[in-house]
Chain A
């Protein structure tokens, strides 16, 4: 009994006890914060890396791609492990924006948007076709229909305001694009000014009607926050599949005097057209969407020789944010068939009259049960066998050097680098934790040394060696447990609120920016709190406290009581 009694008296009446608790507290919190953020970072990198590609990618080492891809894709789709597949063409080229006098080297990727949406997160990466309507859906959910009348009125007013903005924006775009003869310039402006109020009134009326329609539409939307309702809301607002087709108003607004763009294209969000603020938001210049662009593709033959560059007129219909900077900073997506033709990879007749089959750069494959890594590996092996057989039937495929890789093999360089960084940081933190263990040991050692005379007294009045040791071991365990508990709570709370702490405390109050979203790929500090890791860190900290306390406690227990009594 005296062990517990004395232990609690030492805990409650010794001020020095705060220091080891603080040391364990900070150490545990630090490990949890760093591990959670780094794990979150790695997980985010993996998930974004994964969503870029199919589960298995059949690709050609040769820049000219590989032929017979339709036949191969058909065979792949017949495999029981495969859910879907999509061919992709990848070519190098130039992106030219005549209106902005910008030209840059890009990777031009030809995809079928509907197929690609099934295989990867292509659609989710699009701003106008996915992220903006999703945000609108979130906004509508935030209004919380049906709620109070003032909120409905406010919402209707917002809709009208948005509609008017949109009308003005479109009108401005039309006006800017409309060629105005120089002699009619002033007359045009005057006329324009006279008319604009009437137009505005008409358009505002139209916008209000639209807002009312929207209002009716919104009233029919699901009202609860359940997953099913959220899904229904998203379905109502987000297009079913991604598309390269520009909306009719953009096509109609295009000046007929210029060569009309035939196709839409989607640009990577980090190509440099948008400014990005410190919160990670992209600022899209007004009217930038629907800008005409010229894409020049450098075709590469199957024998890896260059052919005459081909150009095509396009219109930017959307931008893509995959969150992988190396992709978003150099990629332009365009329709598969169009890119195939520009890259000379369509079916062609050779000079000798024979047929050169159409080519693709890769086939992306969606595997059934792809949550199971083993299922992906099995599918990869099955596809590899299939490709081996296929190559025996088509000997000219050997030029292409076909590779069959899982998504993580394709992304290995990118993912492994971050994984290695996390392991390195955890190793360094582990070493730092060893230092903390030594500090705890020294603090306990000093406490025990300070208690030498007490140990003599306790032994003189009947306390045993084991009893004295138990007092200090218990003391160490309680201190580590208290520190670990406080550290785990602080660490988890910190991690769960890391973005708030960073934005509203560090930046707003102290003006400190650690996570600059204009530099990092992710707009939020990622985190992933793993309860098992937290439990392991807490357990290790308690063990460290136990070890730190056990050695001085054993020394204390073995002390000669007479020597201890003489100690001053």
Chain B
């Protein structure tokens, strides 16, 4: 089966003052359609950087990043924006919801970005029905008009997951989604993610340093010394 995502020989160096820090030194990784891959590694090993490169948020210094056979490193800016909007769903450790928007508006934001400008004047809310469905599935139907500040950490992460799914992206990129939650809530969120993966057969690349969470994945890989190793 053809890979959905393929990273080959990816290098990334950061400049920290006068020093150069080599984070990725030839990392390679593949994710197949419908596959749930967990990426583990010590703190500061470059897991998030690899995830950002995979999601076209960041560029690598060297190497190839193929998504459905298309090299993300060679795409134009506008194409990369489009890919981030349509092909990837990001779930962050710190939820990253917009505080001025309600739960429903936060979930709808990627769909609003994808919508044409004239929709603003006709007042249409693209994919609103789908957003309501998602929020109902995630147990957030009663919180539609709440602002992020009025939600608990677990609820915020559910909203972030719904936002990641609103445009039906082929790949979910989750960066320590339970890292900021207590163990019980963290497991609930993980159950939500694994449940969605099973029900939708949606590919997922999950970054974690928690081995027990990684154990839920179809495949676990480890980032060590700047390269990805099988466990």
**A residues within 8 Å of B by Cβ?**
1-6, 9-10, 13-14, 453-454, 456-465, 467, 560-562, 565
Selected contact of B100 from candidates A2, A10, A460, A467, CB within 8 Å: A10
B165 to chain A, nearest CB (A): 12
Selected contact of A462 from candidates B101, B110, B117, B120, CB within 8 Å: B110
Residues in A neighbouring B117, C-beta threshold 8 A = 1, 3-4
B73 to chain A, nearest CB (A): 16
Bound-state Cα–Cα, A565 to B84, Å: 15
Residues in A neighbouring B119, C-beta threshold 8 A = 1
Residues in B neighbouring A6, C-beta threshold 8 A = 98
State which of B25-33, B60-68, B85-93, B129-137 sits at the interface with chain A.
B85-93
The residue in chain A whose Cβ has the minimal distance to the Cβ of B126 is: A1
Check B201 for interface membership: any CB of A closer than 8 A. Answer: no
Question: With A460-B90, A463-B113, A561-B57 given, is the CB distance from A454 to B78 under 8 Å?
Answer: no
Interface residues of B in 53-109 (CB under 8 A from A): 55, 57-58, 77-78, 81-82, 84-86, 90, 92, 96-101, 105, 109
B58 to chain A, nearest CB (A): 5
Residues in A neighbouring B101, C-beta threshold 8 A = 9
Question: With A457-B98, A461-B85 given, is the CB distance from A2 to B52 under 8 Å?
Answer: no
B57 with A462: CB separation less than 8 A: no
A335 to chain B, nearest CB (A): 77
Bound-state Cα–Cα, A5 to B110, Å: 12
Check B158 for interface membership: any CB of A closer than 8 A. Answer: no
Bound-state Cα–Cα, A90 to B178, Å: 99
B58 with A461: CB separation less than 8 A: no
Residues in B neighbouring A2, C-beta threshold 8 A = 109, 112-113, 115
Bound-state Cα–Cα, A457 to B95, Å: 10
Bound-state Cα–Cα, A467 to B114, Å: 12
Residue in A2, A462, A561 with the greatest tally of chain B CB atoms within 10 Å: A462
Question: With A1-B112, A2-B113, A465-B77 given, is the CB distance from A460 to B120 under 8 Å?
Answer: no
B96 with A457: CB separation less than 8 A: yes
The residue in chain B whose Cβ has the minimal distance to the Cβ of A560 is: B58
A462 with B113: CB separation less than 8 A: yes
The residue in chain A whose Cβ has the minimal distance to the Cβ of B78 is: A464
B100 with A461: CB separation less than 8 A: no
B19 to chain A, nearest CB (A): 18
A461 with B113: CB separation less than 8 A: yes
Bound-state Cα–Cα, A151 to B10, Å: 98
Bound-state Cα–Cα, A456 to B118, Å: 25
Residue in A14, A459, A565 with the greatest tally of chain B CB atoms within 10 Å: A565
The residue in chain B whose Cβ has the minimal distance to the Cβ of A9 is: B100
Residues in B neighbouring A458, C-beta threshold 8 A = 98, 109, 113
Residues in B neighbouring A464, C-beta threshold 8 A = 77-78, 81
